[in-house]
Amino acid sequence: MPNVGIQLQGLSIVILQNNDVIMIENSGDIFPGDVPESVESVNHDPFLREKEADHGWHVLAILSVLMGFASISTDLYLPAMPTMVRDLRTTVGTIDLTVSGYLIGFSIGQLFWGPVSDRYGRRLPVASGLVLFVIGSGGCALAGSGESLIIWRMIQAAGACASVVLARAMVRDLYEGPQAARMLSVLMTVMAIAPLLGPVVGAQILALAGWRAIFGVLGMIGLLTLAALFTLPETLPESQRNSEPLGRAILRYGDLLRHRRLLGYMGAGGFFYAGMFAYIAGTPFAYITYYHVPSGLYGILFGAGILGIMATNLLNGRVVAFFGSDRTLLWGTVVTALSGLLAGGLAWTGCGGLWGVVLSLLVFAAMAGFIVANAIVGAMSDFPRQAGAVSALVGATQYGSGVFSSALVGLFADGTPWPMGLIIALCGMASFASALTLKYSAT
């Protein structure tokens, strides 16, 4: 059989056959499986077979599930948090720390999985992370105290983060520039179904089988995803992997932090995520306990925010084509700052009641579609051979900032929405300030 391979370059395919190079321009959206039947491999990967042809949507679906682990692992048990406080005989602050503990494991884990994937490829680290996620989910289901639940949540997160950070890196393996931003928006739109359904499904599981069953369901999701992973082709060929020792690759995080534009992207996305996790940690008690919203209705209110995120992610793909990623990111943070200030003011004064807080927070959350994908793609655009490490660094910043914001919500909890509103307002302004620095940063 002749030596045949394919390399993906932006919107083009390079076909290599017996050392002859044929360039096919304007090939449209390219997935690892989108190849002619006569082609033996993609990106020189020997595991891609002819039967992978026309499996583009299959790859998209798996990447969406992988990215969804970040949200479903928390959103599914949000309606159960007040019940967990009573069942484990602990405090609201302790249960809030289960979110913070998850974010700690998620942040630190990404810094490990990123360089590992740049050296050894994407699939093996994802599989290892899924196994760890299943173990952590089982531990959460059997936890006998709030403190042990926090520890198991950290273990669960250390596994889940591999799926998220490497799904983003896989997008960078296949796409560049605005096309990468558009594809990441598509992925985020698809995977937004998970947090949309999470609180609603979680409330039903809680009513039927109790909060421990929620973590049992998460473990089953992990096992099913692990099985599906073996049908996913490797997106990082050996020729493009980072061959330097793993320890040295991890130390290069310091070199990356010297780039001012990278810091701007990290700040814009990181502070926005901090506000979002303050929202996630604070709304169950603000809505259910303070405003006496039934847990089922809470799931609907939370789902409305996800619908807003899905809408802006779809819109982002079109807006970026006209205005570019950086300008779209900047205006997204402007709206974030304004809506965050409004939410903080309404929470403090009590004006507008439940719906005033809900509507302002819906606008805040919806800006994720204009901020997250553009911040990630902008950060990775200058480091194609370190996409895994940069994705991990950006992700660690985003979720690491969430550690502090969700912890602050629990620390200053006073039975009112005010601490949550204040933290969200501050995070929105900081996100805007970070995005503004991109206008004046050359490197």
Model pLDDT for residues 47-56, shown as the tens digit of each residue: 333 333 334 5
Residue-range definition of the domain harbouring residue 85: 56-440
Does residue 61 sit in the same domain as residue 42? Answer: no
Measuring CA to CA, which residue among 191, 144, 141 is closest to residue 171? Answer: 191
- Mean pLDDT throughout 321-337? 90
Does residue 31 sit in the same domain as residue 130? Answer: no
Return the percentage of the chain with pLDDT > 90, whole number.
23
Measuring CA to CA, which residue among 46, 368, 360, 396 is closest to residue 189? Answer: 368
Kindly report the average pLDDT of the chain as a whole number. Answer: 77
Task: Provide the domain count of the chain.
Answer: 2
Does residue 226 sit in the same domain as residue 126? Answer: yes
d(CA 343, CA 418): 9
Does residue 231 sit in the same domain as residue 326? Answer: yes
- Mean pLDDT throughout 107-116? 80
More confident residue, 335 or 286: 335
Owner of token pair 């997160």: 157
pLDDT digits (tens, 9 = 90+) for 238-274: 766 766 676 776 777 777 888 888 899 999 999 999 9
Does residue 96 sit in the same domain as residue 176? Answer: yes
In terms of DSSP H, where are the helices of 121-192?
A: 123-142, 146-174, 177-191
For CA atoms 376, 433, 366, 410, the dihedral sign is: positive
Last residue of a domain, one of 52, 67, 88: 52
Ordered DSSP codes for 353-417: HHHHHHHHHHHHHHTHHHHHHHHHHHHHTT-GGGHHHHHHHHHHHHHHHHHHHHHHHHHT--SSS
Does residue 91 sit in the same domain as residue 185? Answer: yes
- 284, 337 in Cβ contact below 8 A? no
Q: What is the predicted pLDDT for the residue at 272?
A: 95
Supply the CATH number for residue 201's domain: 1.20.1250.20
Does residue 39 sit in the same domain as residue 165? Answer: no
pLDDT digits (tens, 9 = 90+) for 356-381: 999 999 999 999 989 988 888 888 77
322 — pLDDT class (breaks 50, 70, 90):
confident
Measuring CA to CA, which residue among 191, 117, 112 is closest to residue 158? Answer: 112
- Mean pLDDT throughout 170-187? 68
Measuring CA to CA, which residue among 202, 187, 431 is closest to residue 310? Answer: 187
d(CA 316, CA 271): 20
Does residue 185 sit in the same domain as residue 297? Answer: yes
Does residue 260 sit in the same domain as residue 235? Answer: yes
Does residue 32 sit in the same domain as residue 67? Answer: no
Does residue 14 sit in the same domain as residue 70? Answer: no
Q: What is the predicted pLDDT for the residue at 132?
A: 92
44 — pLDDT class (breaks 50, 70, 90):
very low
Last residue of a domain, one of 34, 52, 70: 52
Does residue 134 sit in the same domain as residue 14? Answer: no
